[in-house]
Copies of this chain bind each other. A is one copy, B any other.
Amino acid sequence: MLNSVNPGKPPRDSEAVDGRRRRLTAEDRRKQLVGIGLMMLRTQPIHELSIDAVAAEAGISRGLLFHYFPTKRDFYVEVMSAAGRRLLRVTKPDPALPADEQLRQMLLTFVAFVTRRRDSYISFVRGAAGGDVFVVEVYAATRAGLTTRVLDLLAEPTQEPASPIRMTVHAWLAYVEDLTIEWSGLPEHARPSSPDDLVDHTIAALHALRSL
């Protein structure tokens, strides 16, 4: 697991294939490291991301990682943040469609996204935190982004965080998330409905909750 000698293993990256240092721009290196973090997030909770492992994967020294990210926390806040942005990006609906179609599409994408990388997503939602204040914030920001988007699609331009409609939509997203996680955790043949039915259900739920 140490990166210093690494005798038998093949070079992990484009790094140091000829034994010489490879010098990247600061930006490229940061991107590479965050990318590795995202990849490793798939198989392990964020807190078990060891700086050693990341550095080894990138083929660099531990010290360099601390050059870019002063603390481990800085690093994984960055990684979590990238994960959140990716979720928002992936589920962004096509603005050319009518609003209700956008909502459908967004939810379908969300279900597909969670299903495809379920463990990773759970790591994001829960492991996210680990109770860590900073990472909780990243998750909260992502959720808030989704909430705002849904409110827009509902033509409810409410912005105050404490407004009932916003709180309802926010909590409804928790409902959708839980349902999706549970649903995608079932083996395919045991799922009581298709993704489309699932999405239909959540949309119906949204309208029902809204009119309470």
Contacts and interface: CB of A to CB of B under 8 A. Distances in A.
Q: Quick one: which of A48, A175, A212 has the most chain B CB within 10 A?
A: A175
A8 interface: no
Contacts of A212: 201, 204-205, 208
Nearest to A133: B45
B131 A46 contact: yes
A177 interface: yes
Nearest to A187: B162
A138 to B, nearest CB: 12
A64 interface: no
A44 interface: yes
Contact of A47 (B131, B164, B191): B131
A179 interface: yes
Nearest to A163: B192
Main secondary structure of the interface of A (DSSP, over half): helix
Interface stretch (A18-26, A55-63, A91-99, A121-129): A121-129
Q: Could you say how many copies of this chain the assembly holds?
A: 2
A174 B170 CA distance: 11
Q: How large is the interface on A (under 10, 10 to 19, 20 to 34, 35 or more residues)?
A: 35 or more
A53 to B, nearest CB: 15
Contact of A209 (B125, B132, B174, B205): B205
Given A122-B136, A182-B167, A209-B208, A46 B130 contact: yes
Contacts of A130: 45-47, 126-127, 129-131
A182 B170 contact: yes
Contacts of A1: none
16 contacts: A47-B47, A48-B131, A126-B128, A126-B136, A127-B129, A127-B132, A130-B131, A167-B183, A167-B192, A171-B176, A171-B179, A172-B175, A173-B178, A174-B174, A205-B209, A208-B208
Interface of A: 44-48, 122-123, 125-132, 136, 139, 161-164, 167-168, 170-179, 182-183, 186, 190-193, 201, 204-205, 208-209, 212
